[in-house]
Amino acid sequence: MKVHILGCYSATPRALTNPTAQVLEIRNHLFLIDCGEGTQVQLRKNKIKFSRINHVFISHLHGDHFFGLPGLVSTFRLLGRKKELHIYGPKGIKEAITLMLKLGDSWTTYPLLFHELGSKGSELIFEDDKVTVETIPLKHRIYTNGFLFKEKPALRKLNIAAARKYGVDKSQFNLIKQGSDGTDTEGKTIFNELLTHDPEPPKSYAFCSDTVYDEGLVNFLRKVHVLYHESTFLTSDEHLALKTKHSTAAQAAKIAKLADVGTLILGHYSMRYGSLELFKKEAEAHFDRVALADDGKVFDFSGNLSQ
């Protein structure tokens, strides 16, 4: 599981900073989460293959979270895309994107499928044999969702040396990885635990941006391995966070502690402050496993996480 940060700053883009966009790499999927201006360029800079992106998740319809999407949809056409592209976002996103395509006479040459969201509660919006994605209702100035990505339990890992030792034929390997016992050449049962290793525990990733401080989120985030939570302001400007329905770094850390998450990643920073380290210092007063997002940064959680 890897998180590629393409942009993690609030509001207007600057020469060296980009609005929200990130790619979650999980179980052979590349999920694009939000698509602020400049996302295409950031994908290029970070050498992420456009062709591997089949699902886009948009949290809300503020420009710094989806104004890069029309361009990306058009570029897929120029690249000769044929595969379906699924876009998950609030009601209105289909109208916004298709109007631009219509006015520019730039209809896609590939299936463009919109999944518009309107539920005020959490709902399952994607599932295959490896991953599920659920919405996380957020409290912002307009209808907004976070997203919870969860791996399904993986197949058991075959111990090839043990299989040879016990004389188990390779024709049984697929069933053994699914949990079945094996048999040797004499028909004797060889228990599964002798032939396999435990798979890595399934991981989970939660994306929460933008939202006011809301302890109700804890119900959705409990024991999540990695939480990305917006931290637009520092506590000195908590009144602005309340007014604009954003969070402070301290508030993000309090949510992480209450939910007992594995790692907290801060992002969606206001540029009014002199250093990102101020966000980390403030958060660590409440929660000790804090990381700072930054444009171009990659977080690799591929190992066996403790949470």
In the numeric block, which tokens belong to residue 179?
């949990």
- Confirm or deny that 115 is annotated as ligand binding: no
Q: Is the model's pLDDT at 304 over the cut of 80?
A: no
- 3-state secondary structure (DSSP) of residue 221: helix
64 is in an annotated binding site: yes
268 annotated among ligand-binding-site residues: yes
Structural domain spans, the chain = 2-154+200-300, 157-196
Q: Which of 185-194, 224-233, 261-270 has the lowest mean pLDDT?
A: 185-194
Report the Cα 79 to chain-centroid distance in Å: 25
> Does CATH place domain 2-154+200-300 in 3.60.15.10?
yes
Arithmetic mean of pLDDT, 150-169: 91
pLDDT digits (tens, 9 = 90+) for 40-88: 999 999 999 999 999 999 999 999 999 999 999 999 999 999 999 999 9
Tell me the catalytic residues.
Answer: 64
* Band (303; pLDDT cuts 50, 70, 90): low
Mean pLDDT of the chain: 95
User: Per-residue pLDDT tens for 79-112?
Assistant: 999 999 999 999 999 999 999 999 999 999 999 9
For the stretch 113-125, pLDDT in tens is 999 999 999 999 9
What is the mean predicted confidence (pLDDT) over 224-236?
98
What pLDDT was estimated at residue 24? Answer: 98
Asked if pLDDT for residue 307 goes beyond 50, the answer is: no
pLDDT confidence tier of residue 135, bands split at 50, 70 and 90: very high
Residue 12 has pLDDT above 90, yes or no: no
Contacts 24+ apart (CB under 8 A), 300-306: 300/1, 300/2, 301/1, 301/2, 301/3, 301/203, 301/205, 301/225, 301/226, 301/263, 302/1, 302/2, 303/200, 304/200, 304/201, 305/201, 305/203, 305/225, 305/262, 306/262
Interval 138-154 mean pLDDT:
97
Whole-number percent of the chain with pLDDT over 70: 98
